[in-house]
């Protein structure tokens, strides 16, 4: 109106020719909620793991949602925002999102309900991702104690959630599903011949 | 004239990042009488006739029109207080003034009287501080109703509307996210939209000549609202060359006035605009440099003529119709690459082509028992087209997997085999593969499976799809007995990466299939080398040109233009 300043796009002529542009990835979405767990008062700890060639430009790459106790239905809704901006110089180490679902009971005790992970989608657009979770299982004495007191075995190091190396040592049980909606925007990947 | 009016008096919304105090509006009102319309019409006719060289007549003088009172034009700035005759009369005496605002008006009016007087006659303004602005929303109702009270929400909104614009931005406290005992003020501000808005009304005093200053004859001409985010709302919109608006007065003698609004704010000077644009360009260049410095400038590319396939995947879940209860499922998988694919072991030592998941106890969903593995795997494979003339489609990697079960007594059984061909299209794929397990004739094997565990297994995984030793044309599995067991779900994200895609996009060719692009890679390799050399030389030339001082380039340009002219 008063000749308001317009954000001028960088002219695609000389300015862009001699500065190579980096490939950038935007992950914008939310952790919608979880369902299928034995109890419903749940919260989720999440994080993103990438390879060495990736650099986080903005956004928080880990976080914890609030505790949600649904009044009706089985699904606990968090609507936790995920907004990340990565830049990379290689395709290896594509980001992986790992989750831990915990249960908080009426007494304030927290108990692990599941580990899960999913790859961040590599094609641009809107993706609805369902991430299944599992929980380590102890011996039958521990299981009986778990039904009364809670608790249960947890992983010593959470790397196993998103790597498959030593998984065969684990004894687990299937738990519920976490739903996420992720929007992926990829920039300058096509300049390097990446089709996705 | 009925067709000379603009009837679209809706409000218009503008956005601007500049300060709203630079806004200037030129407002022009003119009384519209029938004689004025007629004389105007005649004048236009005569003018056109004069152009055609027709009768020369002396037109009616337009002196009668602009009697000086029927027309006024004024430039009004943002929140500029212009007094009406009524206000001047009211605030003359100091006894009337009660609030500090009214006292301030009194001093201003006295000062104006001493100097040259007001520069406006009919047009005046109500700024954000006046009472009119506050209660005009309350008193006027939007529907035709004899008696209407403002709704609860309207009441609340009116109270919070006129806040100052310099509110602090909302910061989220780290602790105490919930206010357990909200105050009255807090409730008012949280339950309604409270974007601070400043309002200004431009009014016109439409009374007859000589009898200005009657409050009933005031008429709202224009409303301007500006909020702290740079959104400016003006109702009605600027005329922008369209016909003027029509203002009708109430009362026994209804008059029609013509209203024209124009935006006369000063624009930004060209030097400043250029400076601003240069600053933005600088900022972007610096941001790019910063990004480059973070990760480095090279993007790792596969060698020319090679397609790189990168697959990130996970084994999600498996469904089974369980025959025995209390089963755990585990699965192991193996990736087989056909001959044209090869792996580059030197760069990817940590990518394994086979794996075993954890053992997962199933849970029951509906009629099926489900086990969740959520097992990640990813691999990279390179594809090189050896023979250009070969027409057959290349084979893509195949993933073979096997599901096993382990029960409470540690009995180990084979639950099924399956395979998955990695999709040749890029993107996200969710694939469910069904599994089967081999059966042996007779009851002995089933009894053994039930009591001690152990079941027939395949020696060679590739038998699941096409055996590696198969050479004929027709595959026959006659005599092989199996039983359907369940299914396994995979989520795969496939990325394809090749230099050929870069060339295609820069040359703006329409992309054929991947294979056609890669075909002829030797020829393309040489073409590619030439292109690379050219790009390098061009880049060097551009860099050299950039480093030259600017006036040197300008003088050369001038010389060129002079020589051309």
Contact B329, B359 (CB under 8 A): yes
pLDDT of residue A3: 37
Nearest to B81 by CA among B115, B105, B110, B56: B105
pLDDT of residue B463: 81
pLDDT of residue B115: 84
pLDDT digits (tens, 9 = 90+) for B60-79: 554 444 445 678 888 988 88
Contact B57, B42 (CB under 8 A): no
Which of B294, B357, B428 is opposite residue A123, by nearest beta carbon? B428
Query: Do the Cβ atoms of A2 and B22 come within 8 Å?
Result: yes
pLDDT of residue B347: 37
Query: Do the Cβ atoms of A2 and B361 come within 8 Å?
Result: no
HEC states along B21-46? HHCEEEEEEEEECHHHHHHHHHHHHH
pLDDT of residue B282: 93
Question: A43-52, B169-178, B462-471: which has the minimum mean pLDDT?
Answer: B169-178
Nearest to B401 by CA among B477, B476, B301, B487: B487
A63 confidence band (pLDDT: 50, 70, 90): very high
Query: Do the Cβ atoms of A14 and B542 come within 8 Å?
Result: yes
pLDDT of residue B344: 45
Query: Do the Cβ atoms of A87 and B294 come within 8 Å?
Result: yes
Query: Do the Cβ atoms of A119 and B232 come within 8 Å?
Result: no
In B, residues 275-294, which contact A (CB 8 Å cutoff)? Answer: 276-277, 280-281, 284-285, 288-289, 291-292, 294
- List chain B domain ranges: 12-46+67-82+119-134+177-267, 306-469+479-499
- Report d(CA B307, CA B341) in Å as an integer: 9
pLDDT of residue B59: 54
What residues in B contact A53, CB-CB < 8 Å?
295, 300
Nearest to A135 by CA among A38, A46, A56: A38
Q: Is A103's pLDDT higher than 90?
A: yes
The total number of residues written for chain A in this structure = 196
**CA angle, corner B259, sides to B253 and B264, nearest 5?**
155
ipTM: 0.83
Q: What percent of chain B has pLDDT over 90?
A: 3
Q: Is B471's pLDDT higher than 60?
A: yes
The total number of residues written for chain B in this structure = 565
Query: Do the Cβ atoms of A193 and B301 come within 8 Å?
Result: yes
Q: Is B300's pLDDT higher than 90?
A: no
Question: B87-101, B136-150, B225-239, B309-323: which has the minimum mean pLDDT?
Answer: B136-150
What residues in B contact A119, CB-CB < 8 Å?
312-314, 376, 378, 491, 493
Which of B15, B316, B357 is opposite residue A4, by nearest beta carbon? B15
pLDDT of residue B416: 85
**B325 contacts chain A (CB < 8 A):** no
Strand partners, B513: none
Closest CA of chain B from A187, distance in Å:
13
pLDDT of residue B525: 59
Mean pLDDT along residues B105-111: 87
**Residue B405: partners with Cβ closer than 8 Å, 6 or more residues away:** B324, B327, B328, B329, B330, B412, B413, B414, B415
Which of B292, B377, B505 is opposite residue A190, by nearest beta carbon? B505
**B357 contacts chain A (CB < 8 A):** yes
A129 confidence band (pLDDT: 50, 70, 90): very high
By C-alpha distance, the chain A residue nearest B16 is A4
Closest CA of chain A from B53, distance in Å:
44
CATH classification code of A24-189: 2.60.40.150
What residues in A contact B283, CB-CB < 8 Å?
none
pLDDT digits (tens, 9 = 90+) for B412-425: 788 888 888 888 88
Q: Is A8's pLDDT higher than 50?
A: no
**B502 contacts chain A (CB < 8 A):** yes
Query: Do the Cβ atoms of A175 and B355 come within 8 Å?
Result: no
pLDDT of residue B550: 64
Contact B293, A19 (CB under 8 A): no
**Residue B80: partners with Cβ closer than 8 Å, 6 or more residues away:** B125, B127
pLDDT digits (tens, 9 = 90+) for B24-72: 888 888 888 777 677 777 877 777 776 665 555 555 554 444 445 678 8
Coil, helix or strand at residue B499: helix
pLDDT of residue B166: 45
What residues in A contact B316, CB-CB < 8 Å?
132
Which of A7, A88, A190 is opposite residue B280, by nearest beta carbon? A7
What residues in A contact B378, CB-CB < 8 Å?
94, 119
- Report d(CA A33, CA A42) in Å as an integer: 9
**A8 contacts chain B (CB < 8 A):** yes
Query: Do the Cβ atoms of B539 and A18 come within 8 Å?
Result: yes
**A13 contacts chain B (CB < 8 A):** no
Half-sphere exposure of A37 (CA within 13 A, CB side): 33
Strands B231-235 and B363-365: unpaired
By C-alpha distance, the chain A residue nearest B24 is A2
Closest CA of chain A from B77, distance in Å:
13
Query: Do the Cβ atoms of A167 and B375 come within 8 Å?
Result: yes
pLDDT of residue B464: 82
Query: Do the Cβ atoms of A175 and B363 come within 8 Å?
Result: yes
Q: Is A6's pLDDT higher than 80?
A: no
**A12 contacts chain B (CB < 8 A):** no
Average pLDDT score over chain B: 76
What architecture is domain B306-469+479-499? Sandwich (2.60)
Average pLDDT score over chain A: 85
How many Cβ pairs within 8 Å bridge chains A and B?
A: 218
What residues in A contact B366, CB-CB < 8 Å?
none
Q: What percent of chain A has pLDDT over 90?
A: 46
Contact B60, B42 (CB under 8 A): yes
Nearest to A194 by CA among A89, A40, A44: A89
Q: Residue A68 has what DSSP assignment?
A: B
Query: Which of B229, B277, B295, B512 should be substituted to probe chain A, the one whose Cβ sees the most A Cβ atoms within 10 Å?
Result: B295
Nearest to B366 by CA among B412, B427, B399, B320: B320
pLDDT of residue B7: 79
Which run of H or E residues covers position B294? Answer: helix B270-295
- List chain A domain ranges: 24-189
Q: Is A179's pLDDT higher than 90?
A: yes
Question: B12-21, B81-90, B106-115, B314-323: which has the minimum mean pLDDT?
Answer: B314-323
pLDDT digits (tens, 9 = 90+) for B349-359: 344 577 788 88
Query: Do the Cβ atoms of A117 and B376 come within 8 Å?
Result: yes
């Amino acid at each position: 109106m008063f000749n308001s300043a317009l954000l001028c796009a960088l002219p695609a002529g000389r300015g862009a020719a001699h500065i190579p542009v980096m490939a950038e990835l935007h992950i914008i979405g939310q952790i919608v909620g979880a369902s299928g767990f034995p109890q419903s008062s749940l919260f989720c700890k999440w994080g993103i793991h990438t390879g060495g060639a990736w650099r986080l430009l903005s956004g928080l790459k880990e976080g914890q949602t609030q505790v949600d106790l649904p009044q009706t239905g089985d699904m606990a809704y968090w609507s936790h925002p995920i907004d990340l901006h990565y830049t990379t110089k290689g395709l290896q180490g594509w980001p992986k999102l790992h989750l831990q679902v915990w249960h908080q009971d009426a007494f304030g005790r927290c108990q692990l309900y599941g580990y899960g992970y999913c790859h961040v989608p590599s094609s641009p657009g809107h993706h609805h991702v369902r991430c299944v979770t599992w929980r380590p299982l102890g011996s039958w004495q521990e299981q009986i104690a778990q039904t009364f007191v809670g608790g249960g075995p947890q992983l010593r190091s959470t790397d196993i959630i998103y790597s498959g190396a030593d998984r065969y040592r684990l004894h687990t049980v299937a738990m519920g599903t976490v739903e996420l909606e992720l929007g992926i925007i990829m920039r300058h990947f096509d300049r390097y011949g990446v089709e996705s | 004239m009925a067709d000379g009016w603009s009837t679209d008096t809706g409000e218009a919304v503008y956005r601007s990042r500049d300060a709203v105090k630079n806004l200037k509006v030129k407002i022009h009102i003119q009384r519209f009488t029938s004689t004025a319309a007629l004389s105007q019409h005649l004048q236009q006719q005569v003018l056109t006739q004069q152009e055609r060289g027709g009768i020369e007549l002396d037109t009616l003088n337009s002196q009668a029109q602009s009697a000086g009172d029927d027309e006024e034009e004024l430039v009004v700035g943002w929140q500029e207080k212009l007094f009406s005759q009524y206000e001047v009369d009211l605030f003359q005496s100091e006894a009337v003034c009660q609030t500090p605002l009214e006292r301030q008006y009194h001093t201003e009016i006295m000062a104006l009287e001493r100097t040259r007087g007001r520069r406006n006659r009919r047009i005046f303004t109500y700024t954000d501080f006046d009472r009119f602005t506050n209660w005009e929303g309350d008193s006027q109702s939007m529907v035709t109703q004899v008696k209407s009270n403002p709704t609860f929400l309207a009441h609340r909104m009116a109270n919070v509307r006129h806040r100052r614009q310099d509110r602090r931005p909302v910061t989220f406290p780290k602790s105490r996210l919930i206010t357990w005992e909200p105050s009255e003020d807090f409730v008012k501000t949280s339950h309604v939209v409270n974007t601070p808005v400043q309002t200004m009304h431009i009014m016109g005093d439409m009374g007859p000549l000589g009898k200005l200053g009657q409050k009933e004859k005031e008429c709202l001409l224009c409303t301007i609202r500006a909020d702290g985010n740079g959104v400016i709302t003006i109702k009605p919109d600027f005329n922008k060359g369209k016909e003027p608006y029509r203002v009708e007065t109430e009362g026994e003698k209804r008059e029609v006035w013509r209203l024209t609004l124009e935006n006369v704010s000063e624009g930004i000077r060209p030097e400043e605009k250029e400076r601003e644009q240069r600053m933005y360009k600088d900022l972007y260049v610096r941001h790019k440099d910063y990004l480059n410095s973070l990760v480095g400038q090279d993007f790792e590319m596969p060698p020319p003529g090679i397609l790189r396939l990168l697959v990130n995947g996970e084994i999600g879940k498996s469904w089974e119709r369980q025959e025995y209860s209390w089963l755990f499922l585990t699965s192991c998988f193996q990736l087989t690459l056909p001959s044209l694919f090869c792996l580059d072991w030197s760069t990817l030592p940590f990518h394994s082509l086979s794996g075993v998941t954890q053992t997962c106890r199933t849970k029951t969903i509906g009629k099926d028992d489900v086990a969740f593995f959520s097992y990640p795997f990813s691999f990279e494979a390179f594809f090189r087209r050896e023979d250009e003339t070969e027409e057959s489609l290349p084979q893509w990697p195949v993933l073979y997997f096997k599901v096993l079960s382990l029960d409470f007594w540690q009995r180990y059984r084979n639950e099924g085999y399956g395979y998955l061909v990695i999709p040749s299209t890029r993107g996200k794929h969710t694939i469910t593969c069904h599994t089967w397990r081999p059966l042996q004739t007779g009851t002995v094997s089933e009894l053994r499976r039930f009591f001690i565990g152990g079941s027939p297994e395949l020696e060679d995984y590739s038998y699941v799809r096409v055996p590696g030793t198969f050479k004929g044309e027709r595959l026959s599995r006659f005599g092989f007995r199996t039983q359907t067991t369940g299914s396994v779900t995979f989520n795969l994200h496939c990325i394809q990466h090749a230099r050929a895609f870069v060339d295609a996009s820069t040359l703006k060719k329409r992309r054929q299939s991947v294979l056609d692009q890669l075909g002829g890679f030797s020829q393309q390799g040489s073409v590619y080398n030439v292109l690379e050399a050219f790009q390098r030389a061009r880049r060097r030339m551009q860099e050299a040109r950039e480093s030259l001082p600017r006036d040197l380039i300008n003088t050369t340009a001038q010389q060129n233009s002079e020589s051309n002219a």
